Structure 1
Amino acid sequence: MHRIARLFLAVGATTLAVACSQEQKPDENATLAAILPVAQVNLKFQTVEPGKRTGEQIYQAVCKSCHEVGALGSPKTGDTAAWAPRIAKGFDALIQSATNGIGQMPPKGGAADLTDAEIARAVAYLANQAGANFTPPPVE
């Protein structure tokens, strides 16, 4: 009787060892279904014609990626201490910096299609988040 028990034990252990050593391939469809809700990219194309964009629209599309986190030495959105010396230079000086580029920021933030009025709107929006009281040009 002990021989039969040992035999079953040996066969069971061998079967378990073989089963555990075989690599299980993940089910690709199950993996895709699980990650799709967070991995999906939604593209929304802006239909506002150039020249008609608000400061906030330009900030969201062009400026936010750097200014929200302070990338490349840019002053963070809403950081009153970082923006105070810049705001003190005046609205026109900030517009010139945004138009021509400053430090690591390229001219027009890299968006060559921005009009002068749109740059002024974006500058007013961004500076006003940090306490400025600049009046942006109207959207016409």
Structure 2
Amino acid sequence: MRLRWQSLAIPVLAGIVIVFLAWSAGPGLLGSVSSGGGTVTEATVTTPAACSDPNPTETVEFSSGGQTRTGSLDACGHDKNNRVEITVPAQAGAGPVAVHLADVVVGHSDLRRPVGLALLALSCLGGGAYAFLVQRGGRRAPALAS
């Protein structure tokens, strides 16, 4: 059975469509969306939280605008008096502030999106190679003589 290029057109087009749809879905699919802003600062954990808690929240103290502020950090596993980098929202009002770790804050995606798209394209390529092998047929390699 001869393999024709038309038999591989569907897997190739499907792979292209999948990568295009993932790219056009926006930055939230494979990486974080951009943040509303904030200031990265160093904080001290005052009340640690165990990671076995259902919704762990640690209490931190940080300096903002020359004042010592208290914030609730959505993290776990730190010891008391550990220093962590946090992102304080630009619109932080009075009282306790909800803060996030600086390296996991929304908008800090680095290479997640391009690497995710590259891996998606490679998986589409792998699917196309599998379709090629299925279309090629069940030719088996000759058995080795013992």
TM-score > 0.5, shorter chain as reference: no
Greater percentage in helix: 1
- So what's the TM-score if we normalise by structure 1? 0.22
Quick check: which has more Rg, 1 or 2? Answer: 1
- So what's the TM-score if we normalise by structure 2? 0.21
Greater percentage in strand: 2
